[in-house]
Amino acid sequence: MKLINKISQTLRKMLLGILLVSSCVQAGVNSEGNEYSIKAMFLLNFIKYVEWPIENTKNTFQIGVVGDSEIYDALTVLTTKRSSEGQKVVIKRFEEKNSENYQMIFISNTNGKRSEELIKKYSAKGILIISEEEKGKSKLAGINLFNQDNKIRFEINLTSVKNNGMKVSSKLLELATKVHQ
Residue 31 has pLDDT above 60, yes or no: no
CA dist 151 to 38, 57, 75, 154, 156, Å?
9, 31, 19, 10, 17
Higher pLDDT, 29 or 67: 67
Residue 84 belongs to domain with CATH number: 3.40.50.2300
Amino acid identity at 86: G
CA pair distance 60, 57, nearest whole angstrom: 8
- The domain of 118 spans 2-180
Number of domains in the chain: 1
* pLDDT number for residue 23: 41
Query: Model pTM?
Result: 0.77
115 within 8 A of 137, measured Cβ to Cβ:
no
Q: What is the pLDDT of residues 75-103, one digit of tens each?
A: 999 988 665 556 789 999 998 888 888 99
Q: What is the pLDDT of residues 103-131, one digit of tens each?
A: 999 998 876 677 778 888 888 888 999 99
> What one-character-per-residue DSSP string does 76-100 give?
HHHHTT--BTTBEEEEEE--GGGGG
